[in-house]
Chains A and B, each alone.
Chain A
Amino acid sequence: MAVTQQEASARRGWRRRDRRGTAGLLAGPLIWLLLFFVIPVAFVAAYSVGAVDLFPTDPGVVSLASWQRLLTGGSVYMGLFWKSIRMSLTVSAIVVLLAYPTGYFLALCVGRRKYVLLLLIIAPFLTSYLLRVLAWKVILGDAGVINSFLSWTGMQSPDDPITWFLYSRFTVMLVLAYIWVPFVALPVFVSLDKLDKSLLEAASDLGASRWRTFVRVTLPLSLSGVFAAFLFVFIPTIGEFVTPLLVGGTSGYMYGNSIQDLFTKGLDWQTGSTLALFLLGVVAVLMAAFGRFLRVRAVVA
């Protein structure tokens, strides 16, 4: 209120310079996003309505037919989409349940060596994704490690191995969970690591049991990390296609596989683009919804 003329103009000048600096700093990333995200997505959108033709067999008319087919329920792809959502939700829930204790242990129980251990947990990321998926074939196959063990112990006849271990929906979810656990342990670890330890001391000073401290203090304060972790798994796994391709068999086929097949084998880029864009839209909506939720959580915390 009691700002002098001079001060005000100085502040305006600062703001102008500041704004120019901000624009300069943002230009790089913005141009990058424009070139490598916005424009390609616009192209995909153009494909999805037939505005751009690629193949001589394309109809060459602009129409919303493929969107209509997808959204009016008659499409086989919608069922596949819900199946993929269900699988991703299951995987995400399992992964978070597995990763939380790991993050908890690292952040609160291990002393000085926690970063070394964290590095060890992330180490599998240094090996090839394909290799990690293919290793499961060796473990789960009919003559694989588990089936051999079962027949060796006599629990299962060697002529009748458990076949649903490999090439099934179960396999896809198992492998996806395995692959994402270390990635998810990270945000959980971070949220627990920055937890103010004096709160835990205060809780115990006030007579709370360890379980009660966890439920009333630790868990609520780390929830933002848990949600971030959940999204970390959920979003990429809905569109997953490599793992189902390698170990999914006939029942592990996912939404991402149909997008890949439409682009590379079916040569129907219009439907493929529609499916891809629909997925992008759903993920964007989820991000918007969860993002707000996350921020509210952070404020409450």
Chain B
Amino acid sequence: MIRAIIPARTTTRGEAVMVEKRFTREVGRRDFLRYAGYAGMSVSMAGVLAACRDADTPSGGSSGSVKASIPPIEQEPGGLQVFDWSGYGNGDYYPKEEKKFLWGQYAKATGDTPEFALFENDDSAYTKVVAGARYDVAHPCGYRYGDWVDLGVMQPWDTSLISNFPSLNPKLMAAGQFDGQQYFVPMDWGFIAPLVNLDHVDGSDETFGVLFDERYKGKIAWIDTLNMMVVAGYTLGIENPWDMSDEELAEVRDFLVSKKGLVRFYWNQSYDFWLAFKKGEVWAGYSWPDTVGYADAAGMNYLYMQPKEGRISWVCGLGLFADTENYRHAHEYANSWASKEAAEFLLAYYYYGHTNTEADPSVVPDGVRTALGLDDPTVLDEPKAHPETHIPRRSIYQQYWSEVQAA
């Protein structure tokens, strides 16, 4: 099944070769399974293949058999294990509202209370799962979906069990599909773009270049991840900043090193960036939409740029672990997250978009709605926004980024 997924992901130059190489050691076994399957599934293989069946048959045809083989919800243990970002249901930010809007429907339908395990960023989440951690449901972001699927620890959703699924934006659902299967259900989305304080920063030229502008020395915040390499790549006009060659990486590194002196700090938590932005410790920064909402609510004179290089868009959503014992619970949970109420909660409280098209954007203050372009149906399309994409040579990027930090 992994072999079948690879072609879907070989969009970027050189990746096909790499993926091929990566899996050389495992391909033998998987090929064997596949050919054994073609050969008519001998009796001895049937048990092994049963585990792969969900993935190998199209969702429409499989839903009946899946339902038949999955025990009813009463027989599931419950206590759903959710691996998620902080503030997405565990109550870190809005204890009452997160529970009510994100999984209130789930609690009502199942009588269950989910248990949350938190991660700080996509990379640490992925690392933890690679190292063997298992849950029922996880909430990574789109650019890493392929990695999770490749690990073979996820299974596709049966979207017929998610009654809110038809309300979700089909265009955005594509990010979660592998081999025609909905392995992830994209829910929350947002941007990466410069946020500037117009009291101090000239907003007439909207560009990522503001994060590297000598005029704002000591008043700039970068994010503390190698995404800065990508942002610099767009600023320098590199064609595909998600898959740069060694020469391009060296160019980006030298650029970042030469601009590093302008930067006050790298942020790890968006709230840290917001506090510094509010206090005037920084005037311009790499920003997610939540900080835009806070700045608007605080009455600041801000601009969330639509840079000429294009914003970067991200989308995150729920995935289902292959060995879950809470199959139906998990679907109820995803259904709760896919609801209009959950969508409006995300919009109103975090200023994040949601793939539910029935959500009413007017729950977001006018200023933020304009800043994010929520009324513009093309706001997520190229060239206005580039989707955050898988970086095949991530560890090489990290080496160059370490050189920037250590310089």
Contacts and interface: CB of A to CB of B under 8 A. Distances in A.
B75 interface: no
Given A265-B226, A267-B395, A253 B127 contact: no
Contact of B264 (A80, A167, A258): A167
B406 A80 contact: yes
Contacts of A79: 406
B368 interface: no
Interface string B314-328: 000000000000000
B281 A77 contact: no
A75 B128 CA distance: 27
B131 interface: yes
Given A167-B265, A265-B225, A266-B226, A142 B281 contact: yes
Contacts of A54: 127, 130-131
Given A77-B402, A79-B406, A267 B266 contact: no
Interface residues of B, number: 40
A198 B191 CA distance: 73
A57 interface: yes
Contacts of A166: 281
B395 A57 contact: yes
A56 B146 CA distance: 12
The secondary-structure label for the interface of chain B is helix
Interface string A165-189: 0110000000000000000000000
Interface stretch (B32-40, B58-66, B118-126, B207-215): B118-126
B29 interface: no
B260 interface: yes
Across the A-B interface, give the 8 residue pairs with the lowest CB-CB distance, nearest first. A266-B398, A268-B395, A249-B265, A80-B406, A167-B265, A264-B124, A76-B403, A142-B281
24 contacts: A57-B22, A76-B403, A76-B406, A80-B406, A141-B279, A142-B280, A143-B281, A163-B218, A163-B264, A167-B265, A249-B266, A250-B264, A250-B265, A258-B405, A261-B401, A261-B405, A263-B127, A264-B121, A265-B226, A265-B398, A266-B394, A267-B127, A267-B394, A271-B399
Interface of A: 54-57, 60, 76-77, 79-80, 83, 141-143, 163, 166-167, 245, 248-250, 253, 257-258, 261-268, 271
